[in-house]
Amino acid sequence: MKTKGHKILLIIGGGISAYKSLDLIRILKKNNFEIRTVLTKSGKEFVTPLSLTSLTSNKTYEDLFDIENESEIDHISLSRWADLIVVLPTTANFMSKLSLGKAEDLATTIILASNKDILLVPAMNVRMWMHKATQNNYKNLIGYGYRFLGPVTGEMACGEYGEGKMSSPRQIYTEVKKYFQDKDLIKKKKIKALVTAGPTREYLDPVRYISNESSGKQGYEIAIALSRVGINTTLIAGPSDLQPHQGLKIIKITTAEEMLQAVKKILPVDIAICAAAVSDFKPKIFSKAKIKKNLDNMHKLNLEKNPDILEFLAKNNKNRPKLVVGFSAETENLIENSEYKLKNKNCDLIIANDVSKKDFGFNKDFNEVSIIDTSGKVQTISKNKKSYIASKITKSIIKKFLINEKNIN
């Protein structure tokens, strides 16, 4: 099946695998993609501008400042022109530059100025790929929103065998085709999502409240990741110091009841992700005046249950989202308790995280989670930045949603 008119900007890096870009261009052209190319200085050691121009029927860009096109700023116009940017081979050095946010040539400047998705296709020696610095850069880049394909395991040009070989042109084409098919489906379906994040506060009096240590960062990152792939996302957020992300719709609330009302107002949606740490209880009576410190008041705190927002969404037959994802914050028996919550709350996925740890979880920049689905499958994502965790959670959510949609249709 041919793809209609999608535009690919192909950035060719400096590695022996650069020659495979020529085969990729042939495959993409055959399937009706429009292609423009940027050839890095080191990439020029392996392929020539003439060969790229001949295959694409378009100019090959090399220099950041091009006298022939001084009327246009190339790094801006090219980044806006493309529907997807593909970098191959993505070397360890290039990954390092992107991780640091460098903009020292046309290729890195385009990427830093881009508002489009970027697919990195790594190729390097197995030791270079497995090096802690490269792996840290890999995790940072995923957290920034970059996409990766490979590397794959195989024999490399250096003669060694292992993980580091670049994906084949056919594999890259398949990934690009799937990217646009999923993106087009998301656009066609006009998918809407809501994400709850942060704590709630249940006031005893004008100055005291019941709450928890949640910062809201994990929920914020998930909402950003969903929005980035084109899903119309609304974030309902409890009290937090986090700054709103540009373009993300945010509704600020304080109490659990306010969060519930905001959720009801947004429905119907296709996907609901309940990442908020909602207070389970609230005071039965709110004191309009500050409660005085005396013995009579010190042993009296009458509480009642707050509404269960996750249960409302998952069991609300009238407006139940097609996919409901809950979070399970536990201090013991993480998987067992989370599996019970998944079934009891009627969720489609549950994200289990251990909040007893001191180095990740509540009010930290790092997290470690397990994604559990109704089939019993458990996918554990080891400790990492919450932006990285969010990208992995979002990928699982979208995959499950699109599979469900395809099965229905």
List the catalytic residues. 158
C-alpha neighbours within 13 Å on the C-beta side of residue 252: 6
- How does 326-337 read in b/e, with b if 16+ C-beta sit within 10 Å? bbbbbeeebeeb
Nearest to 329 by CA among 227, 178, 212, 181: 212
Q: Rounded to an integer, what is the distance from CA 399 to the centroid of its chain?
A: 12
CB atoms within 10 A of CB 136: 14
Euclidean distance between CA atoms 85 and 28, whole angstroms: 13
For residue 96, what are the contacts with CB-CB under 8 A and spacing of at least 6?
133, 134, 137
Euclidean distance between CA atoms 391 and 360, whole angstroms: 17
Which CB contacts under 8 angstroms, 24+ apart, belong to 112-116?
113/75, 113/76, 113/79, 114/79, 114/82, 114/85, 115/79, 115/80, 116/79, 116/82, 116/83, 116/84, 116/85
Euclidean distance between CA atoms 366 and 138, whole angstroms: 16
C-alpha to C-alpha distances, 390 to 5, 134, 139, 223, 397, nearest whole angstrom:
31, 20, 12, 8, 10
Alpha-carbon Rg of the chain, whole angstroms? Answer: 25
Q: For residue 346, list its beta bridge partners.
A: none
Nearest to 364 by CA among 150, 202, 204, 221: 221
> H or E segment at 26?
helix 20-30
Describe the crossing of helices 132-144 and 92-100 by its angle, rounded to 10 degrees.
50
Asked if residues 323 and 271 have their Cβ atoms less than 8 Å apart, the reply is yes
Euclidean distance between CA atoms 147 and 131, whole angstroms: 20
C-alpha to C-alpha distances, 392 to 127, 132, 221, 222, 325, nearest whole angstrom:
25, 20, 11, 9, 14
Nearest to 86 by CA among 110, 104, 65: 110
